Structure 1
Amino acid sequence: MTHSPTIGDDLEDLIACPTCDALYRVDAPGNGERAVCSRCHHVLIAPVEGAILRVVALALTIVILLVTALFMPFLSIEASGLHNATSIFEAGLAFSRAHMVILSLAVISLIIFIPILRALLLIYVLTPLMLRRRPWPGAHTAFRLSEHLRPWSMAEIFVLGVGVALVKITAMAHVELGMAFWLFALLVVVTVFQDGYLCRWSIWHALEESPEPGAPPSLAPAEEAPAHG
């Protein structure tokens, strides 16, 4: 990875660091090697053998976990003889009882529907590449949309917030965690692994150049390695 692009360079041969905007001339590393920005150490390219299958499998796992957890018990609280249990869907609709329907829809979308949509988009984009076929129609738009939705996919943030809140609630009431809570906890781990294997440069490169039979593209784990500059 060279750090000295010139005006005459083809744009396809250049890559910009998404964190600090440093511009590099692409010299893609081999499988198991990594290239990071020499200025801020953000991972730029890091291919690894077989990662595309893992990303698809983890995206499918996310869909299964979220759909399964949607109507299962999330937690129950008992205090002063009063008992209440709720699911994720019911918790989201709680705002609608206070006439805040838009807020209810926003909460359910951020913690359920957007994460599911993003996982389905990744499956749509990567499945033909995994099968060594040409990308399906609209794959570029689908992957771009999945990247735009990434900051709004907050299922893992939701469960972390609930965990912090439970620290205070347990001092005042008896709390039992339902199956949906543990599914969301597992979702946090799965999301970390998925983001770790996702190399956006490799995906865009594979979409631009349809893979040859017998040579599926590789994706990358997000681990740091020095970039030459």
Structure 2
Amino acid sequence: MRGAGPYAGAMTPTQTSHAPAPPRPGLSAAQLAGLIACPRCDAVYRAVQPAPGERAVCMRCDAVLIAPRRRAGEQIIAVALAVVVLVVAATLAPFLAIEAGGRAHASSVLDAALAFASAGPAAILALAVAALIVFIPVLRALLVIYVLAPIVANRPPAPRAAAAFRLSEALRPWSMAEIFAIGCAVALVKIADLAQVHFGPAFWMFAALVVLVVIQDGFMCRYSVWKSLER
């Protein structure tokens, strides 16, 4: 149990106050439903719902386990819609324009991803890049909207909402639009001495996308979502 402050009353260890321990075998389904495991170190706790604005954290590794927020669902849906708009617009708008020797060339994100689409084995790599930076981020955002929209509207969960949310979480490590933007920024530093580089609208869209992804992950309380889907 944490002391006073935003962590107060967040967690109760399953067996000892010094270190969390796994539950004993033979627990009933109701007892198992009241437990939560740390996704980072696998410590198991009895879940106690903190008040909005407070957080439940792991006593072993300080990972955030439960972080409910007021009106978080509406905020996450708004961010997810913004992610969809930004990613779709960024695939069509110019990303970079390079000028050297009196010649200039502008390219969009989709042009860059599919540049090798007809080059034999490299086409697989091109399609993978397009999926990681365009299709998967859009799919994740749409899945989040599909799962949270009925919950926010106080309606029963959508059909197969649990499977949709599970897929969204499974795709999270593979959504790399923000990694692409950071990688491009690093590459620009290396070619700045060789040519004049001009940022297109899509570059700033991806910069905003990095911020939105961080905000979405900060607002998302996965424990609260799962509990809402169970109800």
TM-score surpassing 0.5? yes
Q: Secondary structure at the match of 2:193?
A: coil
Q: Name which of 14, 17, 28 aligns with 1:4.
A: 14
CA distance in 2, matches of 1:180, 1:4: 50
CA distance in 2, matches of 1:75, 1:67: 16
CA distance in 1, matches of 2:96, 2:81: 25
What residue is the counterpart of 1:117 in the other structure?
139
The amino acid that maps onto 2:111 is E
What residue is the counterpart of 1:127 in the other structure?
149
Question: Which runs of no fewer than 5 residues in structure 2 stay unpaired?
Answer: 1-10, 16-22
CA distance in 1, matches of 2:14, 2:159: 36
Cα displacement string for residues 21-61 of structure 1 (whole angstroms, at most 9, x for unaligned residues): 00001111111111100100000001111111000100011
Residue 81 of structure 1 and its aligned partner are, at CA, apart by: 2.2
Residue 68 of structure 1 and its aligned partner are, at CA, apart by: 1.0
- The reply on whether 1:139 has 2:152 as its aligned counterpart is no
- The reply on whether 1:88 has 2:98 as its aligned counterpart is no
Q: Which moved more, 1:20-29 or 1:93-102?
A: 93-102
What residue is the counterpart of 1:13 in the other structure?
34
Q: Name which of 41, 47, 54 aligns with 1:33.
A: 54
Q: Secondary structure at the match of 1:94?
A: coil
Residue 98 of structure 1 and its aligned partner are, at CA, apart by: 3.3
CA distance in 2, matches of 1:178, 1:46: 37
**For residues 61-76 of structure 1, what are the structure 2 equivalents within 5 Å?**
61-76=82-97
Identical counterparts, % of pairs: 56
**For residues 1-229 of structure 1, what are the structure 2 equivalents within 5 Å?**
1-5=11-15, 6-7=23-24, 8=27, 10-99=31-120, 100-209=122-231
TM-score normalised by the chain length of structure 1: 0.89
CA distance in 2, matches of 1:96, 1:113: 16
Cα displacement string for residues 164-199 of structure 1 (whole angstroms, at most 9, x for unaligned residues): 000111111000000001001000011110000001
CA distance in 2, matches of 1:109, 1:22: 34
State the Cα RMSD in Å. Answer: 1.1
Cα displacement string for residues 101-123 of structure 1 (whole angstroms, at most 9, x for unaligned residues): 11111000000000000000000
Question: Which runs of no fewer than 5 residues in structure 1 stay unpaired?
Answer: 210-229
Q: Secondary structure at the match of 1:98?
A: coil
Cα displacement string for residues 72-108 of structure 1 (whole angstroms, at most 9, x for unaligned residues): 1000111122321100111011122433111111000
Q: Which moved more, 1:120-129 or 1:80-89?
A: 80-89
Q: Which has the higher contact order (CA 8 A, sep 6+)?
A: 1
CA distance in 2, matches of 1:97, 1:129: 44
CA distance in 2, matches of 1:93, 1:83: 20
The amino acid that maps onto 2:127 is L
CA distance in 2, matches of 1:104, 1:78: 24
